[in-house]
Structure 1
Amino acid sequence: MTLPTRAGLDAVPAYRQGRSAPAGASKLSSNESPHPPLPAVLAAVHDRLGTINRYPDMSAAALRAQLAVRYEVDVDLVTVGAGSVELAAQLIHAVAGEGDEVMFAWRSFEAYPSLVRIAGATPVAVPLNAGHAHDLDAMLAAITPRTRAIFVCNPNNPTGTVVSAADLERFVAAVPQRILVVIDEAYVHFDRTDSYGAGIELFRRHPHVAVLHTFSKAYGLAGLRIGYAIAPREVAENQRKVAVPFGVTDLAQTAALASLDAEDELALRIDEVVEQRDRLHELLVDAGWPAVASQANFVWVPAGDRTAELETLLRDGGVITRAFPGEGVRISSGSVEDIDRVAAALVREEAIA
């Protein structure tokens, strides 16, 4: 006897985590922070370990209150989830279902099409432009009566490109207000352009904008899984209905609050990541690889047919990356030692050649 399975799930690939690294190698495949947790964050989490027999506050009231003050928004507009990916799923379920469409650029965050299909909606992927950035005109042209949401990943994963604040403003203003525009700013802390913070400002000025942030990247809490969204009231209410109960642990909430109190220290770490990102880009370009200038914590190399070659070259040099077969390689910005290892691998290639 064959057990029944849900129709359509054969079109949903399992999410592929960045490859782990063997001992002594650099894991630059998952866009994680190369820094260990701040001592203050570790201490705060340690102090809460004695209460893990209790359920967490499902509303994350303390964290939401602090975020509401920071962004000067009503606390009811702030929602939390197990990382921005879970919040993206909440937003999709909150506005779209069977027969609806959810649009995003492609290539962009790998989970978008799967999350849309899981919700029963139809993913609409609009190709990036020649500069590996969002083609906003093409996205506007792709809107149909069935479009319910549009995701703009800014900076974009995996290309690291950004939509300028002015272009994003024009785009949002042109999208009908019946459609939710989700500005996914998972990598915003690494952005050194005028698009930094554009999502929140657009949320203030437009009634159909939601913004996603995460503590996984700049804050270094990837292992605890926590992020937040700021969304229109009716959307936020629906998010709470579709969210997994108790999905954000007490330890994650505690670490997030401690991180918000330690942002001066975290800013120094972010500056280091940005410095090594720019160094990584320069090394790749000098070695003849078509690396794209990035505003995230990684660098994209659209190597095309040479993707496997670059992945192998770096792997042989002790660097584990994220390869997209036939398209390119995404290399996270790591520590100075990590990028030194990339440099050595590239020099080794020149020596062999």
Structure 2
Amino acid sequence: MSSHSPSPRAVLDGIPAYVPKPPQPPATGTSHRLFLNENPYPPLPSALAAISRAAARTNLYPGIFPDQLADAVARKLEVPLSHVLTGPGSVGIYQQIGQAMLSPGDEVVYAWPSFEAFPIVVRMAGAVPVEVPLTGETHDLEAMAAAIRPRTAMVLLCEPNNPTGTAVGAAELKRFLDRVPGHVLVVLDEAYFEFYRAPDAPDGVELHRDRPNLVVLRTFSKAYGLAGLRVGYGVAHPEIAEALRKCAVPCGVSRIAEQAALAALNAEDELLEQVGRITAERERLREALGAQGRRVPPSATNFLWLPLGKDSSTVAAALEQRGLLVRDFPGTGLRITVGSPEANDLLIATLGGLTPAR
């Protein structure tokens, strides 16, 4: 018998953990999860009722694909059914994209810091990350366009950006998309689409209609409050959508997730009311932190970015002591989810007691 044990792929050695250091709650007292951009409110009542009904059938496999949900999304977005793809959250679809569309040695351009799944998906496929620094807290689309080279196979783009919450707007995004060669796939992540209500907010679904190289991803995890059920969707032209479906995990979206998402899609008035509450809290929180002398960029999401530089880890640790668990990007800043009014009040008070203000 050989003394050697199986070895994982060497490429895994260079792949970062998705959340390198999850914050730790205090030993006693209430803690607030403000580090994963979760919705602070429970699922909509109609979604909860659908979850309860679907739970009674968990002895049965769900469909290989969530066909009811795909059909509902197609009708809501007014796109052909052949353009719709689904997955266990948008992260699941990213894995499908990496498997279907990337080969070893391909280059992938994306802004940084941006969505933490980007380097994981790219390196897992054996592709080469090409990270383009943000300008301030915003995508530098000029630099990203200049970074596209002969070996570039894909561009990954968050609009609005995670973790900074900033957006480039429809006009700049369209100009950028028009500069990307047709053979380069662009993945546009609109995970925070429902929170981005500005007049110049782009609609990726509309943009994809005459751009065969554009894939648009959205999720039920944020505005819809179904993060724990893991369900997301995307739109792409049929050739790409079919390739991504081939790489999907069979039965990867549970029946409970599908039925909850269907119910949530049909409760748009309730959804918009809840989104309105969250965005109002976001602006209240930003105004209060600004009054403390802190610089907080405008956000088009359900979180705020505090560019604290070298002080970020110190401030994150102080917040942890008060049960405020935020996402620390060491040496750069903090991403803070908009929580309940109680959590937001505690955050304002705690940051107000810390110096120096930024």
**CA displacement 1:219-251 (0-9 Å, x = unmatched):** 000000000010121111110111112111111
Alpha-carbon distance in structure 2 between the residues aligned to 1:300 and 1:349: 17
Match of 2:176 among 155, 171, 183: 171
The answer (yes or no) to whether the contact 2:99–2:125 under 8 Å persists in 1 is yes
**CA displacement 1:186-220 (0-9 Å, x = unmatched):** 01111122343421121113221110000000000
Q: Quick one: which amino acid aligns to residue 88 of structure 2?
A: A
**Matching of residues 15-30 of structure 1 within 5 Å:** 15-16=18-19, 18-19=22-23, 21=25, 23-30=29-36
The answer (yes or no) to whether the contact 2:184–2:213 under 8 Å persists in 1 is yes
> What is the SS of the residue equivalent to 1:349?
coil
Corresponding residue for residue 313 of structure 2: 308
The answer (yes or no) to whether the contact 2:65–2:250 under 8 Å persists in 1 is no
The answer (yes or no) to whether the contact 1:101–1:123 under 8 Å persists in 2 is yes
The answer (yes or no) to whether the contact 1:213–1:229 under 8 Å persists in 2 is yes
Alpha-carbon distance in structure 2 between the residues aligned to 1:349 and 1:7: 44
The answer (yes or no) to whether the contact 1:162–1:195 under 8 Å persists in 2 is no
**CA displacement 1:83-131 (0-9 Å, x = unmatched):** 011112212322211111111110000110011111121111111112x
Corresponding residue for residue 159 of structure 1: 164
The answer (yes or no) to whether the contact 2:16–2:120 under 8 Å persists in 1 is yes
User: 1:336, CA displacement in angstroms?
Assistant: 1.1
Alpha-carbon distance in structure 2 between the residues aligned to 1:179 and 1:319: 41
The count of residues paired between Structure 1 and Structure 2 equals 351
Corresponding residue for residue 66 of structure 2: 60
Does residue 1:258 correspond to 2:234, yes or no? no
Corresponding residue for residue 279 of structure 2: 274
The answer (yes or no) to whether the contact 2:169–2:202 under 8 Å persists in 1 is no
Corresponding residue for residue 6 of structure 2: 3
**Matching of residues 1-353 of structure 1 within 5 Å:** 1-16=4-19, 18-19=22-23, 21=25, 23-130=29-136, 132-349=137-354
> What is the SS of the residue equivalent to 1:329?
strand
The answer (yes or no) to whether the contact 2:40–2:340 under 8 Å persists in 1 is yes
Kindly tell me: are residues 195 and 101 of structure 1, through their superposed partners in 2, closer, same or farther at Cα, counting changes over 3 Å?
farther
> What is the SS of the residue equivalent to 2:311?
helix
Alpha-carbon distance in structure 2 between the residues aligned to 1:183 and 1:239: 15
Deviates more, 1:314-323 or 1:82-91: 314-323
**CA displacement 1:270-295 (0-9 Å, x = unmatched):** 11111111122222222222221111
> What is the SS of the residue equivalent to 1:51?
coil
What TM-score does the superposition give when structure 2 sets the normalisation length?
A: 0.94
Q: Quick one: which amino acid aligns to residue 245 of structure 2?
A: R
The answer (yes or no) to whether the contact 2:288–2:348 under 8 Å persists in 1 is yes
Alpha-carbon distance in structure 1 between the residues aligned to 2:129 and 2:297: 26
Alpha-carbon distance in structure 2 between the residues aligned to 1:247 and 1:299: 32
Q: Quick one: which amino acid aligns to residue 294 of structure 2?
A: W
User: 1:146, CA displacement in angstroms?
Assistant: 1.2
Alpha-carbon distance in structure 2 between the residues aligned to 1:157 and 1:189: 14
Q: Quick one: which amino acid aligns to residue 221 of structure 1?
A: L
Alpha-carbon distance in structure 2 between the residues aligned to 1:294 and 1:129: 15
The answer to which structure, 1 or 2, has the higher relative contact order (CA under 8 A, 6+ apart) is 2
> What is the SS of the residue equivalent to 1:80?
strand
Runs of at least 5 residues in structure 2 that lack an aligned partner in the other structure: none
User: 1:348, CA displacement in angstroms?
Assistant: 2.8
Q: Percent of aligned positions with the same letter in both sequences? A: 46
Alpha-carbon distance in structure 2 between the residues aligned to 1:44 and 1:70: 19
Alpha-carbon distance in structure 2 between the residues aligned to 1:210 and 1:280: 33
Alpha-carbon distance in structure 1 between the residues aligned to 2:355 and 2:125: 48
Runs of at least 5 residues in structure 1 that lack an aligned partner in the other structure: none
The answer (yes or no) to whether the contact 1:180–1:208 under 8 Å persists in 2 is yes
